[in-house]
Structure 1
Amino acid sequence: MIVFGTKGYLYQLAVLTLVCGRCGNPAAHTLRKRVTKFTLFFVPLFPLSVKYATQCTFCGAEQKVTREQAEQLRSRSASGQGGPASGMPQQQPYQQP
């Protein structure tokens, strides 16, 4: 008998301060990577899909982003700039007054 299936892994890549497109609050957003892997006898072998998303910590709204946008957001958070990638008009960086 061969036992196979899938298993999901969730990685938190960065925490960014953005203005939420749903609730309009300047809040922390987590940049997450979800990887689904094929398993054989409960051993993960290779990834089947990789998806990226940001989630507002205030209201819980989640927005899917592309790999390129996720890499750009992650590099901006690492350099301390913060802010969204182009193509994400509903989320804007929060500027301290």
Structure 2
Amino acid sequence: MIIFGFRQKVLQLAMATFLCAACGNPAAHALRRAVTKFTLFFVPLFPVNSKYFTQCTFCGATNRVTKAEAEQLRAQASRQVPNSQQYQQDQRQTG
């Protein structure tokens, strides 16, 4: 008897701040990737499907995005992090 199936794992790639399409609030959005893998005897072997989506931290709405859009959001998120760190450093210096 061979036991096979599929298992899905969701990975968080980045956090980006932009205007939510559902609630209209400027909120942080989690960029996530859902990977479905083929399993044999409960061991994940190879990816079958991959989907990217964002989830609003304010209202919880999810929006599916393409791989290219996900890469752009990830780059945008990496540019946002140093700005927030710089703001925190400025606040410490001004006291």
Report the TM range for the smaller structure's normalisation. 0.7 to 0.9
Higher helix share: 2
SS of alignment partner, residue 49 of structure 2 = strand
Q: Which runs of 5+ in 2 are unaligned?
A: 82-95
Distance 1:72 1:22 in 2: 20
Corresponding residue of 1:91: none
Residue identity opposite 1:10 in structure 2: V
Sequence identity percentage? 59
Corresponding residue of 1:11: 11
Distance 2:28 2:48 in 1: 29
The higher-RCO structure (CA 8 Å, 6+ apart) is: 1
Equivalent pairs counted in the alignment come to 81
Aligned-residue CA RMSD in angstroms? 1.1
Corresponding residue of 1:47: 47
Tell me which stretches of 4 or more aligned residues in structure 1 moved more than 2 Å: none
Corresponding residue of 1:26: 26
Q: Which runs of 5+ in 1 are unaligned?
A: 82-97
Corresponding residue of 1:76: 76
Larger Rg: 2
Give the drift of 1:8.
Answer: 0.4
